Amino acid sequence: MSILIFAETADGQLKKPAFEAATYACDLAQKSGEAVHAVAIGPAEASTLEKLGQYGVSTVHHVHDEAMNAFANAAYAAAVTAVAESIDARVVVLPQTYNGRAIAPRIAVKLDAALFSGVISLVDPANGFDATRSAYSGKGIEEIKTQCDKLVITVKANGYRVEAQPTEVTVAAFAFQPEASDLNAIARELIKASEGISLTEAEIVVSAGRGMKGPENWGMIEELAGLLGAATACSKPTADMGWRPHHEHVGQTGIQIAPNLYIAIGISGAIQHLAGVSSSKNIVVINKDPEAPFFKVADYGIVGDLFEVVPRLIEAIKAARAAA
């Protein structure tokens, strides 16, 4: 028996969610005494995959078939399942990225396993499996359990810590040949959103809304984000009005995020917006309206004109950096 993680790569590199999944699996393994394996698919150097050993993975199974260099939903799910079966995995842990979420349901069906998605607690394997997950777009938490003997989990992005727990690691090629029918829908082109930081993975997100009065005023938001190494986001109305691109829209019907720090500028905090950001660990709200609902969930607040407050914030950060 063992635990398998899907170590997602992009451009041959491991991403943060892979290390979150590894840490999660490692914590679970300490309860159950199982070994943690990983499966990586697509081009990647062995020296890159060995980094998983820093996070407690003892064996990395590397599937490298030319036909699967780009993401292919059915073939990737089949490959992860093949590895899971070869090591008799009891639990398969995937990061809750777009691709992780896309293949987890297929894997669960193939393994006849239960699927827990968006898990925010460590699974308790004492009697079946118990866990808690985020529900109602962050407005609720759901406790769930299963009596299935196999489990597939997706771990909410930025929902689990990353912690080094070094162990000896082996990287081995895993022979896998995809079925032609599993290669029907395969990515033929990638369009990068921007050179910016991925919203779902960002530690800090600077977000702005209608209080900005117009798209021409976003320069200071980008400057603030740049200073903090943050991703930029926006509210639904500003995306709908075309002030900002849709891929920046966070909220119930946009992207749901859980950064360590969320800075909301000129956003009133409608319930649909809060649904997408309320899992953020720390929230700063800047709004001229003291009654803005966002203040009710804020850890830090400034009631004031954002056109005065944001430039002051930028200056204060620059001054603090210069003094440090």
Q: Which residues, 145 to 164, sit near other proteins by CB under 8 A?
A: 145-148
Of the candidate residues 106, 169, 178, 238, the single one contacting other proteins (CB under 8 A): 106
Question: Measured between alpha carbons, how far is 36 from 87 in angstroms, rounded to an integer?
Answer: 10
Residue 288: is it exposed, middle or buried by C-beta count within 10 angstroms (0-12/13-18/19+)?
A: middle
Q: Which is nearer to other proteins, 173 or 185 (CB)?
A: 185
118 binds other proteins (CB under 8 A): yes
123 Cα distance to chain centroid: 18
CA–chain centroid gap for 79, Å, is 22
Residue 228, φ and ψ in degrees, nearest 5: -95, 0
Q: Are 104 and 136 within 8 A, CB to CB?
A: no
Say whether residue 213 binds other proteins (CB under 8 A): no
Of residues 85-104, which lie at the interface with other proteins (CB under 8 A)?
97-99, 101-104
- Cα 266 from Cα 289, distance rounded (Å): 9
Closest approach of other proteins to the CB of residue 86, in Å: 20
Residue 35 beta carbon to other proteins: minimum distance, rounded to whole angstroms: 26
Could you give phi then psi for residue 211, rounded to 5 degrees?
A: -60, -15
42 binds other proteins (CB under 8 A): no
Per CB under 8 A, 122 contacts other proteins: no
State in angstroms the smallest separation of the CB of 13 from other proteins.
12
The Cβ of residue 320 has, within 10 Å, a number of other Cβ atoms equal to 9
Q: Does 114 bind other proteins (CB under 8 A)?
A: yes
> What angle separates helix 98-111 from helix 73-86, to the nearest 10 degrees?
50
Contact window for other proteins (CB under 8 A) among 37-45, 50-58, 110-118, 161-169: 110-118
Write the binding mask 278 to 317 for other proteins: x where contact by CB under 8 A, - elsewhere: xx--xxxx---------xxxxxxxxxxx--xx--xx-xxx
- Using CB under 8 A as the binding rule, whether residue 193 contacts other proteins is answered as yes
State the minimum distance, in angstroms, from the CB of residue 231 to other proteins: 10
- Please report whether residue 134 would count as binding other proteins according to CB under 8 A: yes
Quick one: which segment of 20-28, 48-56, 213-221, 247-255 binds other proteins (CB under 8 A)?
247-255
Residues in the chain: 324
Chosen residue from 261, 264, 267, 292 binding other proteins by CB under 8 A: 261
Residue whose CB is less far from other proteins, 17 or 56? 17
Q: Is 180 near other proteins (CB under 8 A)?
A: no
Residue type, 69: N
In this complex, which beta carbon is closest to other proteins, that of residue 59 or of residue 97? 97
Q: Does residue 264 bind other proteins (CB under 8 A)?
A: no
Q: How far is CA 220 from CA 217, 265, 315, in A?
A: 7, 11, 11
Q: Read off the DSSP letter of residue 196.
A: S
Q: How many CA atoms lie within 13 A of 247 on its CB side?
A: 10
- Residue 192 touching other proteins (CB under 8 A): yes
Q: Give the residue from 39, 21, 131 showing the smallest Cα distance to 76.
A: 39
